[in-house]
């Protein structure tokens, strides 16, 4: 049976509306509490959140449900998603809960659940939690009673200590511009980078509950690029709302996305003899240029469906140490169980320092093929094999491109969107086919 609450990245929706209404979030907390009691003696669960105005009440509802099941909670307050995953894995927590909708607007929110391994729960366990949550909601005696939460400031501090301790070089002499998306990294990234010796110019660090990801952060790097150029900074770093992804800007103004990061780090690890397997895991969205650049370096690139969950699964299956997404989710499996924006920035800046090359120079080792992503809002979804007009346009585009292009059409796992990605040898042909295919999607699905 298909899951009803959990999507590809936890439970997500508009805060206050099903499935993120107060009764359902409380019931999910109670279901998780019952699960926790099976998986640990005197179990304790850590809860963290980003800066959305709905975060505190959702956290209180989940904690109330956990406590109703006899499970204690510790509240990390504002912290990143990878921070919650790290705490869950390294401390005596049977599970961790992150309240965040990542890169989505502030009205949205979500619930991500990690088990003690630091990994997101398998699909089967998420389904079991759903079933138990529905049973809790159906109980005529059900009365949600949210918990009162007090922030434990030692939790996020321990995570920053961990990241700083991974660095083998300092960042003295580097001028960095950072954009924290008015999100979870707002009070963490500046502290971390300054501790390591960098001069930091910060923006997107004034969250008000409603401005997370608003024209800032990893999805909107234009202002960051301008500030890097204006200040003559060595690099810029942009995070998304929960800081599990990172997009960088070179001092030249060049955008350095997750593909470029995979190449920079993958080559550095290979040269240092740190790769157990000569392969990097990416997704179907990664640029052809990355695949060709890695091949030239003797590295194989494996593609998975979009989603860091699927990247991680393939990394574990193939014992790969590095994988990620073009969007900036990069997983360093020896150090983290999720994408981690701050760790990604530190790793790239370390390579810059140790190699003596600029970020622009390192990123230039990849020839980027023109790529265009067109999002089409849809009211309903049908399997792709039931969209003959779309399939026809895709076939024509693939024939036109041959080996010098790709087409990918998929439905978003978190939003009511069809995503049309076209990649090819020149901007004109990419734009032509992307819009033809997008128009076919609109026609077939009566947008």
3-class DSSP assignment, residue 138: helix
Catalytic residue ranges = 102
Q: Which residues contact 417 (CB under 8 A, 6 or more apart)?
A: 375, 376, 377, 378, 411
**How much is the pLDDT for 123?**
86
**How much is the pLDDT for 25?**
98
161 near 38, Cβ under 8 Å? Answer: no
Domain 371-445: assigned CATH number: 3.30.310.50
User: pLDDT under 50 in the chain at which residues?
Assistant: 1
Domains of the chain by residue range = 6-153, 166-363, 371-445
3-class DSSP assignment, residue 287: coil
Q: Name the fold adopted by 166-363.
A: Alpha-D-Glucose-1,6-Bisphosphate; Chain A, domain 3 (3.40.120)
Q: Angle formed by the axes of helices 81-90 and 153-165, to 10°? A: 90
Angle at 298 between CA 294 and CA 303, to 5 degrees: 45
Q: How far apart are CA 97 and CA 106, in angstroms?
A: 18
Q: What is the pLDDT of residues 334-362, one digit of tens each?
A: 999 999 999 999 999 999 999 999 999 99
Q: Name the fold adopted by 6-153.
A: Alpha-D-Glucose-1,6-Bisphosphate; Chain A, domain 3 (3.40.120)
Diameter of the chain by CA atoms? 67
Q: How far apart are CA 99 and CA 220, in angstroms?
A: 22
H or E element that contains 402: none
**How much is the pLDDT for 225?**
98
**How much is the pLDDT for 2?**
59
166-363 shares the fold of 6-153: yes
């Amino acid at each position: 049976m298909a899951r009803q609450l959990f999507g590809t990245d936890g439970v997500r929706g508009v805060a206050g509306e099903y499935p993120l209404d107060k009764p359902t979030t409380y019931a999910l907390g109670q279901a998780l509490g019952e699960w926790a009691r099976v998986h640990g003696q005197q179990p304790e669960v850590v809860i963290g959140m980003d800066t959305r105005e709905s975060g505190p009440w959702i956290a209180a509802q989940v904690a109330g449900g956990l406590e109703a099941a006899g499970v204690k909670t510790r509240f990390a307050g504002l912290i990143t998603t990878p921070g919650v995953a790290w705490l869950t894995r390294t401390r005596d927590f049977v599970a961790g809960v992150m309240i965040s909708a990542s890169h989505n607007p502030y009205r949205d929110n979500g619930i991500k659940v990690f088990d003690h391994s630091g990994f997101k729960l398998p699909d089967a366990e998420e389904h079991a939690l759903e079933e138990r949550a529905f049973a809790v909601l159906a109980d005529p005696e059900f009365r949600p009673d949210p918990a009162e939460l007090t922030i434990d400031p030692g939790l996020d501090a321990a995570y920053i200590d961990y990241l700083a301790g991974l660095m083998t070089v300092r960042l003295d002499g580097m001028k960095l511009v950072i954009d924290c998306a008015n999100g979870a990294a707002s009070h963490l990234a500046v502290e971390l980078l300054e501790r390591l010796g960098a001069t930091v110019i910060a923006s997107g660090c004034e969250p008000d509950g409603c401005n997370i990801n608003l024209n800032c952060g990893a999805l909107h790097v234009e202002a960051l690029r301008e500030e890097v150029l204006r200040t003559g900074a060595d690099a810029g770093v942009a995070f998304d709302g929960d800081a599990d992804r990172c997009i960088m800007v070179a001092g030249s103004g060049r955008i350095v996305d997750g593909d470029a990061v995979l190449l920079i780090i993958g080559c550095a690890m290979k040269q240092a003899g740190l790769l157990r397997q000569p392969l990097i895991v990416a997704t179907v969205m990664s640029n052809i240029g990355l695949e060709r650049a890695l091949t030239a370096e003797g590295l194989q690139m494996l593609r998975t469906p979009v989603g860091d969950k699927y990247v991680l699964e393939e990394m574990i299956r193939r014992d790969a140490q590095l994988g990620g997404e073009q969007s900036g989710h990069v997983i360093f499996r020896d150090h983290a169980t999720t994408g981690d924006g701050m760790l990604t920035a530190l790793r790239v800046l370390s390579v810059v320092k140790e190699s003596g090359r600029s970020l622009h120079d390192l990123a230039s080792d990849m020839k980027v093929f023109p790529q265009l992503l067109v999002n089409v809002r849809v009211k309903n979804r049908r399997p792709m094999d039931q969209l003959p007009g779309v399939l026809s346009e895709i076939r024509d585009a693939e024939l036109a491109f041959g080996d010098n292009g790709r087409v990918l059409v998929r439905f978003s796992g978190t939003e009511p969107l069809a995503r049309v990605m076209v990649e090819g040898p020149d901007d004109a042909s990419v734009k032509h086919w992307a819009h033809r295919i997008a128009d076919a999607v609109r026609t077939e699905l009566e947008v």
